[in-house]
Amino acid sequence: MDLRKLASLVSRWRWRECLTVEVGLTLLTLAMIAAFHSIASEDRLLLNLYYIGIAGAAYALVKRRALALTVLVLFVAAGTTLAQVYFASKPGMGDPLFDPIGDAASLFVLLLLGWRLGVEAYRFQSEEHRLQVERQIEEKAMATRAAALTSTSHEVRQPLSAILSIAEMLLDESTGPMSEVQREFVGDIDECAKHLMSLVNDILDYAKAEAGMIKLTHETVALPELVHQCITMVEPKAAEAEVRVTAQLDPDVVEIVADPLRLKQILLNLLSNAVKFNEQGGMVKMQLRVDHGDVLISVRDTGRGIAPEKMERLFDPYYQAAHGDQGMGTGLGLSIIKHLVELHKGSISVESAPGSGSIFTVRLPKDGVPDTDVKAGLPGERLPGDARGEIGSEDEKIPQSAMQGET
């Protein structure tokens, strides 16, 4: 093995997890074996206690399914017992405390424990096989569901895309002027279609994330430009709610290696949620800075805040933490964002209190994930390629405004 690989494995070894009860119990048993055998010839009572200790330790290990450690204990115990019987039978090596019946009984106990070990090993292997089969069935079911949703999404997205395009044309008055009532009706159609598109995208993203179908493509992303694009996209909604959106970037924050599409989705979701759950006349502030080789992205709002009992479930799928008078979504937005952040080997946290607003903080490695075996993003998706910021396949363009996830 390459020494560098060996050093890397040693550095990543989880030493604390190795100091388990099984290891400690095994070391104690081995020490007890050595101690009792050193004085076993002096006292039959101690020798019997030694046999009892070996039997108890091995049985405890079997019950905890520490199979490898149980084998070690049994081999050492059986070996020392056989050695005692062998040397006691040699001329001049007689042991006044040698008891063939007692030693035979101890060997019987060890053999009984060995049989018990075999039974436990068989049960363990059978259970592992059953769990593996169940896991394969579950993965196949999730993949089938994700494939079905992906196929169905084309049937749903195409008419929605047509509705959105027609609504945009009417609102731009490309086909002629409209009355105020007509404009209001078309605006409602546009908003409802965008909301439905957002729900469809959330459900599809979560299904793909659950099935492990989301893959990242790593590119160098210019953060100032990306932040500007995201703020520009949420400004119309912010203007309606009279919410001011600002950004502050440290001079060191220039670029990051990440999936451009997914990083944009993360920022858009955090910003749109901060605007959506803010108070009228409130403020949203995005800050980016570098910390120990990572990029910290925080989004602060001046909304109502989140109650402590809701914080624990905030990133759970389908959980709604919004107040009753605020717009509702699928409850998948933050769950999807958490999954995307973790795919980038990052983390997301939240600080909030009722009446004090919320701060969502995302930590991402600046140099990206050290994985060269990554594939392209989700099928049918690409980076914005024109002035309107659309995303989708050539035959199914979806306005980027409809891609903003909702919690």
Give the pLDDT of residue 157: 77
Contact present, 196 and 163 (Cβ < 8 Å): no
**Residue 175 banded pLDDT, cuts 50, 70, 90:** confident
**Residue 39 banded pLDDT, cuts 50, 70, 90:** low
Q: How many CB atoms lie within 10 A of CB 115?
A: 10
Cβ-based burial of 377 (10 A; exposed 0-12, middle 13-18, buried ≥19): middle
The Cα 355–Cα 39 span in angstroms is 72
Token pair listed for 103: 């030693």
Q: State pLDDT tens for residues 298-322.
A: 999 998 888 888 887 888 777 766 5
* Dihedral angle sign, alpha carbons of residues 260, 262, 266, 269: positive
45 or 379, greater pLDDT: 45
The Cα 87–Cα 405 span in angstroms is 77
Q: Is the pLDDT of residue 359 over 90?
A: yes
If phi > 0 it is left, if psi is from -120 to 50 it is alpha, else beta; for residue 323 that is beta
Distances (CA, A) of 364 to 173, 268, 296, 344, 368: 43, 16, 7, 7, 8
User: Mean pLDDT: which of 289-298, 321-330, 382-391 is highest?
Assistant: 289-298
Q: Is the pLDDT of residue 372 over 60?
A: no
The Cα 318–Cα 338 span in angstroms is 13
The Cα 194–Cα 383 span in angstroms is 19
Alpha-carbon 269 to chain mean position: 18
Give the pLDDT of residue 239: 92
CA angle 125, 130, 131 (to 5 degrees): 100
Give the pLDDT of residue 215: 81
Q: State pLDDT tens for residues 259-276.
A: 998 999 899 999 998 998
**Residue 373 banded pLDDT, cuts 50, 70, 90:** very low
25 or 97, greater pLDDT: 25
Residues whose CB falls within 8 Å of the CB of residue 130, separated by 6 or more in sequence, listed in order: none
Residue with tokens 């992205």: 297
DSSP notation for 204-257: HHHHHHHTT------EEEEHHHHHHHHHHHHHHHHHHTT-EEEEEE-TT--EEE
**Residue 385 banded pLDDT, cuts 50, 70, 90:** very low
Name residue 247's beta-bridge partners: 286
Q: Is the pLDDT of residue 148 over 80?
A: no
The Cα 349–Cα 332 span in angstroms is 16
Give the pLDDT of residue 44: 58
Closest alpha carbon to 209 in 319, 381, 317, 336? 336
pTM: 0.53
Closest alpha carbon to 208 in 390, 375, 384? 375
Give the pLDDT of residue 257: 92
Q: Which of 35-39, 45-49, 108-112, 334-338 has the lowest mean pLDDT?
A: 35-39
User: Mean pLDDT: which of 3-7, 149-153, 237-241, 379-383 is highest?
Assistant: 237-241
The Cα 74–Cα 91 span in angstroms is 28
Computed over every residue of the chain, the mean pLDDT equals 72
Token pair listed for 175: 């086909």
DSSP notation for 144-183: HHHHHHHHHHHHHHHHHHHHHHHHHHHHTTTT----HHHH
Residues whose CB falls within 8 Å of the CB of residue 158, separated by 6 or more in sequence, listed in order: 396
Closest alpha carbon to 51 in 71, 70, 32, 27? 32
312 or 360, greater pLDDT: 360
What backbone torsions phi and psi does residue 123 show, to the nearest 5 degrees? -65, -40
Give the pLDDT of residue 125: 77
**Residue 85 banded pLDDT, cuts 50, 70, 90:** low
Q: Is the pLDDT of residue 172 over 70?
A: yes
